[in-house]
A and B are shown apart, each in its own frame.
Chain A
């Protein structure tokens, strides 16, 4: 029973939702399960002029992937550098510690001031969201590379570049990968939030905000479910890569 709880619980939750929705009997507060399912069943259908679920999901994914890749391209090299060069780490670390706790959403006003409403500011917010987890994990991963692994390569005559490519990066990869996963999660949350800004005209964040203005609660919930599922799928993919390629993780001896 305890083991099967994770299968039963969602059913119970959905059942309760349906019961409450019937009792409340107000689609503007809590729509019934089937209204939400009806929206989900037709992902290609245009929703009152704001585009379909799929179109908006595609826009959000496109934005998050772009911003995330941008963040990773800056954070990973910088993290590796900071992990290896002590004075650089000492110099940058205080700034990092101050900036890191600022939630990506708090950067929105600044993003608007710098990049105006549109793709640029959304990208900036995603970048910020992905950047810090990836950076922090990259630094940490590189710093914790086993000294024996480094020295083995040095005795074999490794150049600094070889040491980096053949030892430091592969050894730090599991930690960097964790950073990528966390970074992607934050980036995904940030994109939805950023899309809720006035002036945006596409994306899942825009869709659910737009649906709110029309009182389409079933669309809001359907959109939220899609947001959750996409986040889950991408994390699943990243985990699969980890399982296949970084299978040695935790087995170092």
Chain B
């Protein structure tokens, strides 16, 4: 059940007519049940790569293979969680969570029961009748996670899902995500530009560099969980990753 990113490149033509290499020959294997973080400053192609993995965008060259099956179109084995506009504002929380099941033709009673189960998992069982605008940003993202999990995907793709949250809810969401990951054992591909977030969450950090988007380094983290942000080990890994990014941004300027 590995996810293989096989020499993926993606070029865009900018509005000015120039060719922009968003991704240059990305080569990466993501293991089953791995929690992997794509880390890098904005503009280095993280979102583009995630969209290609989801089948929302196609690589200019190269391919993404999941479990011996090449991804060429939006793939139901994947579930994506966006930073913004992740929920349907005209549906209440329960209907949002049941959305994927509804598309798959699951009958009403079953999908409502399933949706309630996943709402339970993210701790929002009391909000099933609320509408997204009545929830805080963190709660909305929890609903989005529940909705993604409800269709039992193999891989969760998360594009800076906590990027719009305040620091406190962000930390809380990170802990809860790890909990959920422990319970469900999904593969998670998590995009962030926060070093702290990546070090807190990941089994492995993939550091990207911009223009053209390339992988700078693969950093496996062997820190046991739960991780303490204040621990010496955490700090030293954080320093190491920061140095890497500093280096690349310096060399980028030359």
Kindly provide the distance from the CB of A55 to the nearest chain B CB, expressed in whole angstroms. Answer: 41
With an 8 Å Cβ cutoff, the count of chain B residues facing the other chain is: 27
Interface residue tally on A, bucketed by range: 20 to 34
Which of chain A's residues 146-195 have a Cβ closer than 8 Å to chain B?
146, 148-149, 151-158, 162, 166-167, 170-171, 173
A154 CA / B140 CA spacing, docked (Å): 20
Whether B99 sits at the interface, judged by CB under 8 Å, is: yes
A246 CA / B103 CA spacing, docked (Å): 22
Interface on chain A toward B: helix, strand, loop, or mixed SS?
Answer: helix
A236 CA / B32 CA spacing, docked (Å): 57
Docked-complex contact A251 and B74, CB < 8 angstroms: no
Docked-complex contact A148 and B137, CB < 8 angstroms: no
Find the A residue at minimum CB distance from B92.
A248
Kindly provide the distance from the CB of A136 to the nearest chain B CB, expressed in whole angstroms. Answer: 22
Note all chain B residues with C-beta closer than 8 A to A153.
99, 103
Note all chain B residues with C-beta closer than 8 A to A152.
80, 82, 86, 88
Note all chain A residues with C-beta closer than 8 A to B132.
248, 251, 253
Which of chain B's residues 52-66 have a Cβ closer than 8 Å to chain A?
54-56
Docked-complex contact A251 and B133, CB < 8 angstroms: yes
Kindly provide the distance from the CB of A121 to the nearest chain B CB, expressed in whole angstroms. Answer: 40
A248 CA / B74 CA spacing, docked (Å): 28
Docked-complex contact A158 and B133, CB < 8 angstroms: no
Kindly provide the distance from the CB of A176 to the nearest chain B CB, expressed in whole angstroms. Answer: 13
Report how many A-B pairs have Cβ atoms within 8 Å.
Answer: 72
Docked-complex contact A155 and B74, CB < 8 angstroms: yes
A183 CA / B88 CA spacing, docked (Å): 27
Docked-complex contact A167 and B88, CB < 8 angstroms: yes
Which of chain B's residues 152-189 have a Cβ closer than 8 Å to chain A?
none
**A residues engaging B (CB < 8 A)?**
146, 148-149, 151-158, 162, 166-167, 170-171, 173, 246-248, 251-253
What are 18 pairs between A and B in contact, CB < 8 Å?
A: A146-B85, A148-B85, A149-B88, A152-B88, A153-B99, A154-B74, A155-B56, A156-B79, A156-B99, A157-B100, A157-B104, A162-B103, A166-B99, A170-B88, A171-B88, A171-B90, A248-B133, A253-B140
Contacts A156-B104, A253-B89 known; list 11 others, CB within 8 Å: A152-B82, A152-B88, A157-B103, A170-B90, A171-B90, A246-B90, A248-B131, A248-B132, A251-B133, A252-B89, A252-B133
